[in-house]
Structure 1
Amino acid sequence: MDRDDPTRIRDIATRWSLIRKAHAGDDTSATSARHALVDRYCGAAWRYLLAVTGNEQIAEELFQELALRMLRGDLRHADSSKGRFRDYLKTVLVNLVRDHYRKRPDGESSQALSDALASKDVSAAIDGEGEFVDCWRDELLQKTWTALDESSATLAAVLRAHVENEELTAAEKGRIVQGMLDSPFTANRYRVMLHRARDKFAKLLIDEVAATLDSPTEEELRQELRTLRLLKYCQPKT
């Protein structure tokens, strides 16, 4: 990755450090860290639960249970030496779904849930890696867009104009950005700012992914980006 600085990557506060802080006690700092965990992972968790259940009511019920467990400190058993946090979180979510499908005492609902669990689509979604990876990837991209918005409204507008209107010329995209920002935007300025926007997005995305790992090497980070199909966003455009 030509855009990343190994020293900067080592200095990123990892989600594992947040997890350890969240389970270091019951003081205000730990409580705040637990709330931060919920905020950090709610998007990916919700996407996954809705995808595998196909039911907003069930997904909401399971999501609330996950949030309760996080705030209660039940993720204290997560161990960075045993792998990536996303793998641990997926295991927690899979167990939530399976428990929900198996423990409903009411006959008709229990049968309906059993039938759903036995269905090919639901079983494949639960057992397979792809569904969760897609949800995790989508959430990382969303968080990167949010970070870009917060970092520079101009760069965010330029990049959005590009990805949403790839067929247009630089001059036409410049006019779109001009309308969004109410500021003059020539074709040349658009080209320069697009390069900067891509570079900033790549750095923010690398930061987001690096923060989900525990002190990753450059190769470990590259492999995670490759697994999540995000590496293309972090390579220079010709």
Structure 2
Amino acid sequence: MTTSEERLTEIPTNWTNIASAHAAGPRSQQAMGELVGRYHDALTRYIHLKVRDRHLADEVLQEFWTKLLTGKLAGADRSKGRFRDYLRTVLHRLIIDHFRARKLQPLPPGDLLDASVPDEDFDRVWREAVLSRVWSRLETYQATTPKNRYATVLQLRRDHPKAPIEEIAEKLAAVVGAPVSPEAFRKSLQRARAKFIELLVVELKETIHPTDSADVEAEINDLGLGRLYRRYTTGGDR
């Protein structure tokens, strides 16, 4: 096993964070903060999509965070595989319980009772949260790596998808205050894309179990990121 692979196997997953957040010791508060910080915005968006009544949506969210903070979710079973599936199940049950308790009919759109039915709203919100976190990782990598411009290069290409390389290279030159040749930009773009995929894999490894290559690739495809993954791993400026 390479050093890089060894590091990946040592990454704490969300399953271990759930356990750590409810265990005694200094790691508890840190783990709880990581869980809340990672999922607060995504889960808030999802609940408000499913529960159109803002007051009721806020009640569901409050109950979810209460369960998390009081240890009611400490029994999360990592053998179930994907952490997002676990969260989705918990949220669906809370929504159903609230609607039934209030005798509200019908339930929100979609069959919340059947976990085997895809939930496009949840998958979309989760995918956007994953990509946002990967971008944050890339920005952090750039900020902590001398002379690194991966986030800037990838952002320039994303902002100007149809522009010729020569034009984008000039834009980067204006940012860095030094000449940048089209070939240098192209190479930097390839490396930036490779780093983005590396960080995407790291992010996903924290949310699934097991975490071998096949499982990671399956998660990438299930989240609708297969096209991005293939594009960023083929090289070249596409």
Q: TM-score range by the shorter chain?
A: 0.7 to 0.9
Aligned to 1:224: 219
SS of the residue aligned with 1:77? coil
TM-score (norm 2): 0.82
Aligned to 1:173: 168
Aligned to 2:34: 36
How much does 1:177 deviate? 2.9
Q: Structure 1: which 5+ runs fail to align? A: 105-109
Aligned equivalents of 1:31 and 1:152: distance in 2? 28
Q: Pick from 202, 227, 237: which aligns with 2:234?
A: 237
How much does 1:126 deviate? 7.6
Q: Does 1:198 pair with 2:196? A: no
How much does 1:59 deviate? 3.3
Aligned to 1:50: 48
How much does 1:226 deviate? 1.7
Aligned equivalents of 1:212 and 1:47: distance in 2? 19
Aligned equivalents of 1:199 and 1:56: distance in 2? 41
Deviations 1:98-147 (A, max 9, x none): 2222223xxxxx6xx424x2x6xx23578542221222111111100111
Aligned to 1:98: 96
Deviations 1:195-219 (A, max 9, x none): 1110110000000001112342221
Q: 1:167 to 1:87 in 2, by over 3 A?
A: same
Aligned to 1:18: 17
Aligned to 2:183: 188
Q: 1:125 to 1:179 in 2, by over 3 A?
A: farther
TM-score (norm 1): 0.82
Aligned equivalents of 1:20 and 1:46: distance in 2? 23
Aligned to 1:123: 110
Select between 135-144 and 47-56 the one with higher mean Cα deviation.
Answer: 47-56
Aligned equivalents of 1:37 and 1:71: distance in 2? 10
Select between 177-186 and 194-203 the one with higher mean Cα deviation.
Answer: 177-186
Select between 189-198 and 220-229 the one with higher mean Cα deviation.
Answer: 220-229
For the Cα contact (< 8 Å) 1:170–1:191, is it kept in 2? yes
Deviations 1:20-74 (A, max 9, x none): 211223x442233122211122233123112212454443332232222211121
Aligned equivalents of 2:44 and 2:113: distance in 1? 14
For the Cα contact (< 8 Å) 2:96–2:112, is it kept in 1? no
Identity among equivalent pairs (%): 32
Aligned equivalents of 1:219 and 1:23: distance in 2? 31
Q: Structure 2: which 5+ runs fail to align? A: 144-148
Aligned equivalents of 1:140 and 1:204: distance in 2? 10
Q: Does 1:114 pair with 2:105? A: yes
Q: 1:180 to 1:212 in 2, by over 3 A?
A: same
Select between 204-213 and 227-236 the one with higher mean Cα deviation.
Answer: 227-236
Q: 1:131 to 1:124 in 2, by over 3 A?
A: farther
Q: 1:58 to 1:190 in 2, by over 3 A?
A: farther
Aligned length in residues: 222
How much does 1:84 deviate? 1.8
Aligned to 2:128: 138
